[in-house]
A and B are shown apart, each in its own frame.
Chain A
Amino acid sequence: MTKTPLLLGTLVAAVFAVGAATAQDVIRIGAPLPITGPLSPEAVKQQRGYDLWAETANRAGGVQVGGKRMKVEIVYVDYQSNTPRAVQAAEKLITQDKVNFLFSPFGSGAAKAASSVSEKYQVPTIAATASSAQVYDQGYKYLFGTFTPNDTLTEPLSDMVKKQAAGVQRVAILARNDLFPLAIAQEMEKSAKKRGMNVVYFEKYAIGTLDHASALSQIKSQAPHWIFATGYTNDLILMRKQMGDLKIEAPVVTMVAAPAYQEWIDGTGKLAENVSSAAWWHPAVRYKGKDLFGTTENYVKLFQAKYKAIPDYAEASASAAGAIFQLAIEKAGTIDKQKVRDALASMNEMTFWGPVKFGPTGQINSLEPPVFQIQKGKPLVLHPQSIRQGELQLGIK
């Protein structure tokens, strides 16, 4: 009879020992995401990006940490599209789930809110979808981001239009009244004015707008040379369609960020032709990286094999965030938080996402976001020069 407790005790000890051993061999990265609620479609994209990285790394045996290989595990927590909950989720991941590193919650607002938690616990954190400079100007040491500031999207495009279409003077801007779409529209206004162009129309439309006909009729009456519209896929499919319905034409039509998504190109059909755009990354770019994915082509191929879809910049950024952690861990040779943080801060590597080097605030400053245009149903990169595939075409039908 006395043997049973002893046996049980041994078993329990053994289970604990095994548990401890696995915990040590796994790198755990926390990912608070808006899995439910209005932002859930974005969470799906982030998850696809993270999962592809984790799966690819594990298939290769894991991440090389000093002399051994460690598997990676991503711990997801749903913050229900509610920013205060995102902060709680980040804290829970660090204190209870004991994650080694963190991916920021979605978008600039939530990433900024949660960054104070990772700073407090000194956990290296990579934001895959935060572009606003205000996220990074808090003097934090543990926050890094894969998106350059918003003006890096509008400046190269404005230069190109100014140079190649000298007649473009009148600019009309229609923006979704939402954080990123509005911020990028305001950058566009600055870029246009800086080059002596005349902004003849600047209006915002509400989230959930089901009709753009009034705004577009007004734009038409202003006869602009350049129409710059911002919004998400559904907004800009509807808007482009209504522009066609109202017979609106202009030498340059730019939409951010929808044309970066294949869904937008499919959803607008022939109307997509010659619409220009800019994003932080595009599947058409060509980089030869030192990360686990290697070339951009290979990344796109792996993504297509797993999800039967072409990755967009948000999905690729999530995968890049994982790949960047991996490069930093392998360089540090340990999962010590301080050392990995230092490796991130001093990183200067080429990846499938583009060149990765973080500025003093932690925001990436090496990346030149591509400008592209839909030509013959396919996106062609117009800028940067090193990966250019075509010339800017004027006029839409």
Chain B
Amino acid sequence: MLTFQILANGLVLGGLYACIASGFSLVWGVLNVINILHGSIIVLGGYLAFFAHAKLGIHPFLSILVAAPLFYAAGYVLQRTLINRMIAAPVLLTLSLTFGLDLMAQNGMLLAFTADFRTLIIEPPLGVLALGPVVIPIDRLLAMLLALALTGLLYLLLSRSRIGRAVVAVRMDREAAALMGVSVKRIYAVTFGLGAMMAGVSGTLLAMIYPISPLTGTVYLGKAFVVCVLGGLGSVPGAMVGGIALGIVESFGALWFGPENAATLSFLLLIVVLLVKPTGLLGRKGYE
């Protein structure tokens, strides 16, 4: 029975990881920018959900409707005004830029919100879904399903819409896409906007599950890294598969080798994947 419970835990956790990583993967894959700011954007999404709930009584699921356009716009503007200036520079420079922006974001949040941990408590609690002796918390389940739906939508957007195809085209071959009349700069900004939107929305969902404080972004970022490399860079289904793989490996790792070795195990898995299939589980150029 314990095995089924651990499997359920792993699947739900994996859904959350996928949610954390999909935007990060997209930006890394298309722009070749390792966006260190990603974790802090998730935290900002959390604060948005927290204050909307505390001050206005808005349920975090509804906050998504505000968070999505808001973070998309912020991401778009950030890319257009700042990151586009560095986009052709070596990857280490854009990494430094987003690292600097992240430091500013973290310290800004420390000043604005203090280092206190805040928790969004929904009353009455959503409760748990009991399948025999296996219990699944409904807030996590809903967050996971919503994350899956959002990731699915993003996938549809990339594979069906005109702008989505342009994003994929730029990812496959920047020069060729530019020759076909795609405005690369605009597509970059759209992609970064989508990445920020996914981060912000995940933040509002995670606010129901994790305590919010200015410096937690680093932990999310670490998970996003592993998920991306596991699943394959730039691939939205890859983030999904990578996230769930990581969730399950960590859960069973904690059971078999003790919770302190769960993270070690996930990094071992990462090394194995890098050795055996360096593009990641679903990584293929222009998969979408």
Contacts and interface: CB of A to CB of B under 8 A. Distances in A.
Interface of B: 2, 5-6, 9-10, 12-13, 16, 107, 110, 114-119, 121, 123, 125, 128, 135, 137, 140, 209-211, 213, 215-216, 218-219, 222-223, 247, 250-255, 258-263
Interface in A172-224: 174, 177, 203-206, 208-215, 217-218, 221
26 contacts: A40-B110, A203-B258, A205-B259, A205-B262, A206-B260, A209-B263, A210-B210, A211-B250, A212-B259, A214-B6, A217-B2, A217-B6, A218-B2, A234-B210, A234-B213, A237-B119, A238-B211, A244-B125, A245-B137, A246-B135, A264-B117, A266-B119, A267-B118, A268-B119, A269-B121, A309-B116
A242 B260 CA distance: 17
Contact of B211 (A174, A267, A269): A267
A3 to B, nearest CB: 51
Contacts of B213: 41, 234
A237 B213 CA distance: 12
A238 B118 contact: no
Contacts of B10: 214
Contact of A237 (B117, B260, B262): B117
Given A41-B213, A210-B16, A212-B259, 14 more contacts: A40-B110, A40-B115, A44-B114, A205-B260, A208-B218, A210-B13, A210-B219, A213-B6, A234-B216, A238-B211, A247-B135, A267-B117, A267-B118, A269-B123
A237 B9 contact: no
Contact of A206 (B9, B137, B218, B259): B259
Contacts of B118: 263, 267
B110 A214 contact: no
Nearest to A45: B115
Main secondary structure of the interface of A (DSSP, over half): helix
Given A237-B117, A237-B211, A204 B262 contact: no
A41 B215 contact: yes
Interface in A239-277: 241-242, 244-247, 263-264, 266-269
Contacts of A237: 117, 119, 211
A206 B265 CA distance: 12
Q: Quick one: which of A177, A212, A245 has the most chain B CB within 10 A?
A: A245
B13 A41 contact: no
Contact of B117 (A203, A234, A241): A234
Nearest to B123: A269
Across chains A and B, which 8 residue pairs bring their CB atoms closest together, nearest first?
Answer: A41-B115, A267-B119, A214-B254, A213-B9, A245-B137, A205-B259, A204-B260, A215-B259
B114 A209 contact: no
Contacts of B254: 205, 214-215
A36 B13 CA distance: 31
Main secondary structure of the interface of B (DSSP, over half): helix
B116 A209 contact: no
B103 to A, nearest CB: 9
Nearest to A235: B211
A302 B216 CA distance: 31
A305 B222 CA distance: 39
Contacts of A247: 128, 135
A370 B32 CA distance: 54
Contact of A204 (B119, B211, B215, B259): B259
Given A204-B260, A210-B210, A234-B210, A217 B119 contact: no
A38 interface: yes
Nearest to B220: A210
B215 A233 contact: no
Contacts of B128: 245, 247
A234 B216 CA distance: 9
Q: Quick one: which of A209, A244, A309 has the most chain B CB within 10 A?
A: A209
A63 B115 CA distance: 32
Given A174-B259, A210-B223, A267-B211, A217 B115 contact: no
Given A245-B128, A266-B119, A269-B121, A217 B259 contact: no
